[in-house]
Structure 1
């Protein structure tokens, strides 16, 4: 191909010799030239538009990366640059062979470390490199696995050295991350830059993920044909939780947490609504030491007590095996050449960074003498310790580091300071060189290893930053491997799955997922009902501001007290606070607290936060449309919290937007998941919450008899907050009367917002839960709801509206009914939780063990 000068490269300047665009002799690589030919056609404005489309699409799809202690908060949007990283197939083929070789070497090291220990016995590696590494778990010694390869998934970080070859920077073996992000990056660029995929021969990822799926199936004990496979996640606060949920959704495996699994009779079982379901393969994303609180870290809430015992019995396969973190070990790098010769009688194909292990006297002395020129690392990264760049340390810091190394030299490795290669990155309308690290992925495939065609590229946040890390604000690139011949289209996933691993019904639903669905329904219902009622109250407060009506009018006082009862933010408007202040003296201040204070349990802000948490916990179940609406809700609400305009009118505007989007969100839920796949639990939670809040509102506004004018307003407020005013007018064609309102809101069997209708709906939904179906008789939670339903069916609105005497102010019959209904629903909630969501008591070790933090 003839090389032409791209307009973009006229201003492109790099301070490094090893820029990805050029050969060492400064000639432009032809495949980059091909890419820039297309980029030239787009121009600055076209490329900027595509970058905006990428940012928008990632945000719309909810692609996030959690950055620890990020001032921007959790769930930071994933960043993908419009310009990919490209390599030619010819170079990649050689790299692929090197990755396979390295995976096999580390596989044999892992097998040896927990097996015969020949490497240590025969002096190939010092024992401190293994036993001084915090990833070594003596509990895993002697374990035999179901898989031929002990190392099933391997990732390696690569960068280009000054010799023009790709070098190994890091090995990732414990629970390698990034495959899901690589898949999402490819999907995004394919949609935004289709012309590039049409004109350039880009190798596909599809075959790799088919092999990943098959590898998990083949890992099952006894090579069973239809194993049950799950993905074990630490939870929604983990940095790569998006990837866990994404892979679970893409592959069709249940996403579980430690509390979803339990060990019984030498097997691992998933706690579903119906009972225990045996699990055969666990793809884990939980770090080694946290996987089994019975044998490893006792304080872990992420693992499964007794898991290691089941692994020893070969009754479950864990991918990667527990203990594999020990080979994620920079201390092995100086010895990898000797290990390769020992196991394979081969030289390493991929070069490594020159490294010196400080546990050897000569090497330690060299390191101490040249500290300012080297990069110092610990042999393990289980605590995310800092990497020390000697050139950036002052004399005092260098002395301090020397003392630390001398105290425990075996824990440190020094490496040659190398410059990462740079690659073109589109930023602020121009191309600029940024440091990059490419992560490649490899999985066990029968007797060999298979390497993804491409991978994930991480980019430094600016041109002056050496460190390349997502935790430090880096971005990403799609990784293209180009071939000369046209690509034959591949199926994105296999057409026929070998194993029925999709969640097909309530019996296959993990108990924690079921619980999160239930609480998602409750929090969505609570958010909507609370927002609607607060909107009614704020409207009245706005009227007070615009009229001569006194702010302490009786109807407004009743409404304000109802806010406290509904939200549970006591004492609120119901009594004086501990310091003697009365919220009624400054109702706007208390309302702002009830609306905006995230730390106040029951406030609208707190409820929205809990609604968000419940959503994130089960995001693998929801559709992309739901994510878009959800993000819009978060955006609207965060703008209110962070803004300075907290006037009544502005809050009303935000509440209107919030309510509209909540209703859209609730409508989309029914399109995202089938009833028997968990939507039933959401419905039960929603009906429970709306029923409870209907009771609280009715009691707060109707229990006491007021004068005719105040009572009329209170009835109107209740109907308005219940979104039932128009229904009432259409149904009764009269002024609002208490008896009619009670009939509509509490007793109507055909009105979907009435309490009786919701009780009947609850009865029907509860009957579909597994225990209810199997027992063929009402169990406790059904009995409670049936009793509540019966009380409502036998109630008469005329009796509920009465007081004992004309001079009495309390509607005793109504109050007693509402109290009884509230108690029955509370018992129902407890019974549902006890039956389906209570997890086993924490098992404890007989002897405490010390694991470094």
Structure 2
């Protein structure tokens, strides 16, 4: 093959050592299966490939695609990486793999049914009992349970790698809550967009039809055959490593994303806690591991599952996909016995080869492993986060002795496997192709009495050349998995949230899961708190712009002293500039102001508020639009900048003001986008209530701090101007009143004007209407306390006049008592509203105790 100059530059120095490569032969000849697509890719040249890789990176960033890495110094939500060079298989080879995958999942389904029913495999000596009973995934609580679906394993994933014979070998089986399908779909969306002309030219098989059938699998799994069953997706929460995928699938299909506290068991059925009450659940697509699913019968310390869930499953009143207990199949101890299992159940040979594996529970195999431990990879028969895979060739004599002792002590828990020599695949990096070790994950779903396999999947490659560790947790990269059809693929439009041809009703506010509603509510509160705080701090910093932050000079300036006290009161960052009985006020004014703005670890600071906002926002990421993720990502970058600058002693006020200006602009942008992303009945009402309630509480605080005390004319004028500035209301005041700033006019605008969107009167009026739109709790006829409190607050404010509020008592330090008392009463009532809303709609606390203690390993 003759390469062009552009192609030679891209593949220069590709092989650093001899290995089996998917695309190239050892003589650097492109293999026939890759010929057409490689001509298209390499023919672009390095510059164009770099440009298109940037397009992919941009699309993934815009869509907020992340993978959570625990204890990652770069932050929890690591950007998802997709390399522009896909993994390619011809349809002829794929058909053989597909047939083998169908056989394997069918076989594993028979195994899991047998393990939890007759246990013929153990009784007839086909598999040793220790492999089952010694595995952490075997749950006695699931014994003899009958299920609504014809298959116990409805969703299956298999990790595949190219073996020494050139065929795809099975590396791992995943059956508990297989991850990766959502990432596969997102990879195809990004790569298919950037390489659309190449994919079309090379007849890349589409994967949308697989997801349509996946949706039908969920619908048809309903216990009572409903046409439109209630389906939920159960997630451990936003800190789970694949939470993006949970939210993505939820958004794609339109099913509620719930957590354990959103669900409850009553009268032998599973219910979702909604704003109005309980809504029956028919199907649960779970992303929570087996032992965490039911704290009543399984792990008592789990708050990820639902107390009593297994009893509902036994009654066949809910379908859980995949059923609890299927984790026993994720068992490397079964691998040596799979040929015999295939003979017993199917009278067939295994179509897909496996890694050569020795189970140490057998004497001869154990002795062989102990004598040749340097040649093998040692692992437990079950997946464990606490014990790593051991590569025998890397151990010193002391380490070898240690692992040998472990095997000897509990031989049935360990297997030895032949060291895997991964095939390599080109990865485009820094303008050139590099060989990276790869593993691909294929997916299958139950479809009637058989299985359907996704024509593609998820490919992961090692983070570095020659690295054997292929893991997203360790920084691996993904690739699109392309199956090339011999025929032209016809594009089919799939409506992902469509269930069947029956007419369905739009989701109502009553259907909103309670934790989703709570996160919407707190997103509004933290959004408002962040905006009010940043505007107030920006105003304060501008007032200090021409000072040297000398404490002596400020002591003589009533305005600046009042503003500093207001900073501490407003943010609750005590002792701050006020001090308390134990600590004196801070003396380093600039340092404290910087901490109140930049220090995420300082409770009440702006950075801390932004972190809380991000947590609430991210917990309901399935609700947000792509435009919102673009703005949210820019806010996260500002937060990172703030974190980096918090220890900078030479940071200037000008640079902090620049950060605040950018932050305020982005917060306002995202506020507008939120209103475009979801309907009021989809939960926007809860966001509005949180937003306006927090704004009202902060308005009261600012009015109390800046207007209740009478001072000299100049100071009062300056403080009133500061108040209006902090609300971006100075221009409105000037246009509306065209006069010198007075306390009367300021209170008329900021406190009592029903037509001004930031006035307390407007906020309370809006809150009064919105809170009354919330679904009333069941069996409640009269007004609830939240409705009473907001009505009382609104009524009190409507009944006052500016003339009575500005009266001061000279004997009480020039205090405007009527104004002060009114603000205190309103503050108490609004905080009462907050407490009552939480108690009525967001109370997720429920006790859980087992009748007898049980031990489940971590």
| TM-score category, normalised to shorter length | over 0.9
Greater Cα offset, 397-406 or 496-505: 496-505
8 A contact 1:435–1:460 mirrored in 2? yes
Quote the residue 1:403 is aligned against.
405
Shift in alpha-carbon separation, 1:614–1:548, aligned structure 2, 3 A = closer
Change (3 A) 1:736 1:158: same
Give the direction of change, closer, same or farther, for the CA distance of 1:525–1:605 in structure 2 (3 Å limit).
same
Counterpart contact for 2:246–2:257, Cα < 8 Å: yes
User: Does the aligned pair in 2 maintain the 1:503–1:677 contact within 8 Å?
Assistant: no
Matched-pair contact (CA < 8 Å) for 2:52–2:84: yes
Q: Distance in 2 between matches of 1:66 and 1:502?
A: 35
Q: TM-score, normalised by structure 1?
A: 0.97
- 2 CA distance for matches of 1:403 and 1:174? 31
Tell me: CA distance 1:725–1:118, structure 2 relative to 1, closer, same or farther (3 Å).
same
| Whole-Å separation in 2 of the counterparts to 1:847 and 1:693 | 50
| CA distance, structure 1, for counterparts of residue 571 and residue 287 of structure 2 | 38
| Equivalent residue runs for 1:530-609 within 5 Å | 530-545=533-548, 550-552=553-555, 553-576=557-580, 578=582, 580-583=583-586, 585-609=587-611
2: distance between equivalents of 1:693 and 1:371? 67
Q: Would you say the 8 A contact 2:265–2:271 is kept in 1? A: yes
Contact 1:378–1:412 (Cα < 8 Å) also in 2: yes
Mapping of residues 115-126 of structure 1, within 5 Å? 115-126=117-128
Who is 1:518 aligned against? 521
Q: How many residues align?
A: 850
Among 716, 720, 723, the residue aligned to 1:718 = 723
Q: CA deviation at 1:222?
A: 2.3
Which residue is equivalent to 2:257? 255
Pairwise CA distance, 1:576: 4.5
Displacement after TM superposition at 1:646 (Å)? 2.7
**Residue deviations 1:527-582 (CA, integer Å, cap 9, x gap):** 0001011111111111223999923311111001111111111221122573x442
Matched, 1:241 2:243: yes
Work out whether residues 551 and 589 of structure 2, in 8 Å CA contact, stay in contact via their aligned partners in 1. Answer: no
CA distance in 2, matches of 1:549, 1:720: 26
| Residue 807 of structure 1: how far off its partner (Å) | 7.7
- The counterpart of 1:846, out of the listed 820, 829, 851, is 851
Aligned to 1:815: 820
Separation in structure 2 between the aligned mates of residue 242 and residue 547 of structure 1, nearest angstrom: 49
Identify the match of residue 364 of structure 1 among 363, 366, 374. Answer: 366
Helix, strand or coil: the match of 1:749? Answer: coil
Aligned to 1:664: 669
Alignment partner of 2:790: what SS? helix
Task: Say if 2:534 and 2:660, in contact at 8 Å, map to a contact too.
Answer: yes
Secondary structure of 1:21's aligned partner: coil
- Larger deviation, residues 4-13 vs 287-296: 4-13
Tell me whether 1:31 sits opposite 2:50 in the alignment.
Answer: no
Q: Which residue of 1 is the match for residue 189 of structure 2?
A: 187
1:684-833 paired onto structure 2 within 5 Å: 684-771=689-776, 777-805=782-810, 808-833=813-838
| Cα distance in 1 between the residues matched to 2:449 and 2:274 | 35
Deviation at 1:12, TM superposition (A): 2.3
Q: Which piece of structure 1 moves more, 317-326 or 374-383?
A: 374-383
Structure 2 counterparts to residues 276-315 of structure 1, below 5 A: 276-315=278-317
Instruction: State how far apart, in whole Å, the 1-side matches of 2:11 and 2:613 are.
Output: 49
Q: Measured at CA, do residues 486 and 390 of structure 1 come closer, stay the same or move farther in structure 2, by a change above 3 Å?
A: same
> What SS is found at the alignment partner of 2:364?
helix
Q: Supply the distance in 1 between the matched residues of 2:789 and 2:238 (Cα, whole angstroms).
A: 34
Q: Which residue number corresponds to residue 456 of structure 2?
A: 454
Question: Quick check: 1:637–1:654 contact (8 Å CA) kept in 2?
Answer: no
Q: Which residue of 2 aligns with 1:436?
A: 438
1:483-516 CA distance string (max 9 Å, x none): 1221111223368522789971211100000000
Give the Å deviation of 1:774: 9.0
Q: CA RMSD in A?
A: 1.9
Are 2:327 and 1:325 aligned? yes
SS at match of 2:493: coil
| Change in CA separation of 1:159 and 1:344 when aligned onto 2, cut-off 3 Å | same
Residue-by-residue CA offset, 1:791-813 (whole Å, 9 max, x unaligned): 11111112111112488411111
How far did 1:480 drift?
Answer: 0.2
Does the CA contact (< 8 Å) of 2:599 and 2:608 recur in 1?
Answer: yes
How far apart, in 1, do the equivalents of 2:78 and 2:335 lie?
34
Q: Aligned pair in 2 of structure 1 residues 82, 13: CA closer, same or farther (>3 Å)?
A: same
Q: Would the aligned equivalents of 1:232 and 1:258 in 2 still touch at CA under 8 Å?
A: yes
Structure 2 regions of 5+ residues with no counterpart? none
Choose which of 478, 499, 509 in structure 2 pairs with 1:506: 509
- Superposed structure 1 runs of 4+ greater than 4 Å apart: 2-6, 22-27, 499-503, 546-549, 772-777
Structure 1 runs not aligned, ≥5 long: none
1:222 alignment partner in structure 2: 224
**Aligned 8 A contact 2:378 2:417 in 1:** yes
Superposition deviation, residue 689 in structure 1: 0.2
User: Alpha carbons of 1:503 and 1:420: their partners in 2 closer, same or farther (altered >3 Å)?
Assistant: farther
Provide the rounded CA distance (Å) in 2 between the counterparts of 1:577 and 1:588.
23
User: Scaled by the length of structure 2, what TM-score is found?
Assistant: 0.97
Find the aligned partners of 1:772 and 1:323 in 2 and give their Cα distance. 37
Deviations 1:285-311 (A, max 9, x none): 001000101111111010000000000
For the residues of structure 2 that align with 1:26 and 1:698, how far apart are their CA atoms? 75
- Rounded to whole Å, the distance in 2 between the matches of 1:548 and 1:684 is 41
Q: Output the CA distance in 2 between the equivalents of 1:99 and 1:178.
A: 17
Is the contact made by 2:434 and 2:465 (CA closer than 8 Å) also made in structure 1? yes
Q: 1:465 to 1:501 in 2, by over 3 A?
A: farther
Contact 1:252 1:501 in 2 (8 A): no
Indicate conservation of the 8 Å contact 1:280/1:316, yes or no: yes
